[in-house]
Structure 1
Amino acid sequence: MNLDFSQIVPSIPFILEGIGATLKFVSVSILFGLVLGTILALCKITNKKILKWPADIYTSIFRGTPLILQLMLIHYAIPQLTGYDIAIFLSAVLAFGLNSAAYVSEIIRAGILAVDQGQVEAAEALGVPYPAMMLSIILPQALKNILPALMNEFITLTKESALVSTIGYMDLMRRAEIVGAQLYRNFEPLLIAGIIYWIMIFILTNIGSFVERRMRQSD
């Protein structure tokens, strides 16, 4: 096997800098997707068609098209139509956040519908306003049931973050590709990137398991 990690050692700090860039845009995308997904979920469960239909159409579009296509459209096609150049970081956050929101909305919608209907009826009987009922009664209960699914979505988002390398964002994957191109050795830097991705996912998975156990213990 033609492997020589000694040539890669000087470039490891350069590759490791991609961890911060990756976590930065993934964290913002997750937060954006969670907020927008919650709003979409609330629109989907309402009886008002003017809110329900746009939310359903949005979910259908973003779940029915490839993430890489959405990323390319936002970064390359929108500037062509508007004349406004979108920064790489903003393009990444918008693409991943909007895509994640579609999946998160379905997860939250299912969690809300799984809450005992008696909770809703009791809150309505007590005259609790709808926004307060959702924020204080329904969503906290739904969160306990959907946490594993949410964590799985966030893990998937972290893994798929490597796609931003296609638009030149200097994330972990992009830096590994640059090192490979400079040294004409691709296996070693890509292997290092793969190990780092695995470590990040491993940590995120364990954090999710810890939070889930804590929430179940609080019942």
Structure 2
Amino acid sequence: MLKNIKTFAAIIMVMLSLLGCTTVEKPSSSENEISAKQPVIDISQQVKQPTEDLEQFNLDQRYTLEKKLLPPKFVITNFEIAYDDSKKEVSYLVDYLIDLDIYESLTKGKQEMYFSLEYPEDIHKLYETPFSQLVKSEEPANNKMNYQVTITQKTASDISTQQIKQITNNLEKYNLHIADKDKDTIAIFDDIIGFLDYEPGVSKSEHVDDTE
């Protein structure tokens, strides 16, 4: 009997010993901090960006200015050159007329137009550059269709009176380049003075299309 009691007591002690060794390991506070710092990925933002890009692409395709910038949709109505001696600066004034299609491309379609002049060879030697800087067009508003862009060019401080006359008295052989919002040329009017006597059905405008 005593032997059985001792055996039972030994079994109880072994069981208690095993229970004491079995513990549940709790995560440390540092592990909790690391888990809390994991970024939460917002799937809605990932979906939103491609959708916005697609909408802008469709808008650009619908309201593109390519192949629109030619008479009678786009007409140059006046071209003048003036010199400001106080600023040592030449101003080129180009008046133009747009149609409703181009108007909506610039307003609803959020398109942009930039103008640049390509100077005649004898003139760009005076400026030491063949092209003017790009100038953004006025933003259309109030259903107005006629606009003017002014392109300025600095001259040398010692420019002579004869050279000034050479610039201001000759309107020929200036080429007007028109670029889109990416500042890629999409139309060129060769010798723009020739477009002042525009006749319906006749266009000298050269279109640059690199989509082919």
Q: Which one scores higher on RCO, CA 8 angstroms, separation ≥ 6?
A: 1
Say which structure is richer in helix: 1
Decide which structure has the larger Cα Rg and report it: 2
Q: TM-score, normalised by structure 1?
A: 0.24
Q: TM-score, normalised by structure 2?
A: 0.24
